[in-house]
Amino acid sequence: MNQFKNSHITIIGAGFTGLTAAYELLKKGIAVTVLEAEPEIGGLAAAFDVGGEKLDRFYHHWFTNDLEVMGLIEELGLTHKVEISPTNTGVYYANNFFKLSTPWDLLNFTPLNFFDRIRLGLLALRARRVKDWRKLEGKTAHEWLKELGGENVYRVVWQPLLKGKFGPYAQEVSAVWFWNKLKLRGGSRGKGGEERLAYFKGGFVALAEALADKIREMGGRIELNTSVQTISKVDDTWKIETGNGVFTADRVIATTALPLIADMIASWAPAKYVADLRRIQYIGNVCLVLELDRPLSDTYWLNVNDPSFPFVGVIEHTNFERPETYGNRHIVYLSKYLPHTDHLYAMSADEFLEFALPFLKTMFPDLDRSWILAHHLWRARWSQPVVEKHYSTLIPAEDGPLEGFHICSMAQIYPEDRGTNYAIREGRRIGVSLSSRITDHSNK
């Protein structure tokens, strides 16, 4: 095995959390090595090529009130690459399409009677008035949503979305998770009430690559195709064994999914600590990406509120970012959250397309197979932590059981939900915190 030069800090995972932490540490002159198991950086923000342009494997956008990511973009001098646009949001319910982008659309949402439409509008307002999320920790989302809007509003609007997002875990999801979703979307609207979203030219991976370039420019190292097998402490040094050699460091920051971290430290960490890391459940995701020669609709984000339909949404990316960007191809994402043990998770791209087409044709009867120029299937085993009641009691601390071992993963983002904006925030926070500790220690 190769023996690499010691770094002050080794970071496991080159997603936005790991990259941002590395950037903050390097700004303080602290040597950093980032280890990434995949052949590319970005984590869930990885991309592929369509029409000569990078396209996100999984659909992405930012809200206009995502200040952490906007601040990083400005710091890197890349503000000119951000486009903010109004978007069309809709709902598919009972074989019909309904717009749901503005308050006026809400008043015309006929699957609910007039009084339930008023309840739905008031629900969002009441949710945004909640200031202390801790008061919601003991309630599930379905209990809380029924309290706020009634049984009918829950059945038509919210229940299908919960099931689509969390599948078999839908009844366990905390009210805190849903509260934050309502609060966040409500803060990303224009003067007319329309939702406004932001996108980064070249895909989210373009921002990750710009950040990685900055890290290398500052002297940091990023090692790809380097899967970590074990992390252990020998005297005062951390030893990180990988398929690509052994790395040593004074400190380690692990940013991957908690069960993966548990596997890396199981040989020495206390049994209860390892069990606690494995306690938080995750749901996986499969995402079918279609390249079409024409659009399906004029809607960007179509929530599917039909319980017989297997996808939580149909996201027509080129109703947000222009099709000319991708060689005049129209991009559609079909997203399915599911346990990784589900048979759909193991399907090939061709099998998944055959599975999906009948459902798509039900929604869009004119759709013909000949419209599909190409298709791709992407999987994410650790896509979404299941945020249960009293989730705050399940989150592991930043500092591990031995000095110098730290965890900063998306499962620790709370009460907000995981996402690029908060990954950047947490990466900055731990980078600043550890650089301050290291500086204080060296001055003693």
- Verify that 152 and 11 share a domain, yes or no: no
Residues 402 and 273 in one domain: yes
434 close to 27: Cβ distance less than 8 angstroms:
no
**Whether residues 208 and 355 fall in one domain:** no
User: In this structure, are 270 and 411 located in the same domain?
Assistant: yes
**Structural domain contains residue 75:** no
**Which structural domain range is residue 400 located in?**
7-60+203-279+392-442
171 shares its domain with 318:
no
Instruction: Please name the residue that has the structure tokens 């700004």.
Output: 27
Residue 94 backbone class (left: φ over 0; alpha: ψ -120 to 50; beta: rest): left
Task: With respect to residue 162, please indicate whether it lies within any of the assigned structural domains.
Answer: yes
Quick one: 116 and 256 in the same domain?
no
As a whole number of Å, the CA-based R_g of the chain is: 22
**Is residue 66 in some structural domain?**
no
CA max distance for the chain: 72
Q: Last residue of a domain, which of 196, 220, 250?
A: 196
Token pair recorded at residue 81: 């690459």
Rounded-to-integer distance, Cα 262 and Cα 275, Å: 8
Residue 69 lies in a domain: no
Residue segments in the chain with a per-residue pLDDT below the cut of 70: 1-7, 184-194, 440-444
Our count of domains for the chain comes to: 3
Distance (Å, whole) CA 303 – CA 314: 7
CA separation (Å) from 377 to 41, 58, 127, 267, 314?
A: 19, 10, 36, 36, 15
The HSE-up count of residue 261 (CA atoms within 13 Å, CB side) is: 31
Look up the pTM and report it.
Answer: 0.91
Residues 210 and 307 in one domain: no
The two structure tokens encoding residue 48? 């592929």
What whole-number distance in Å separates Cα of residue 335 and Cα of residue 59?
Answer: 9
In whole angstroms, give the CA distance from residue 182 to residue 133: 13
**367 and 290 inside one domain:** yes
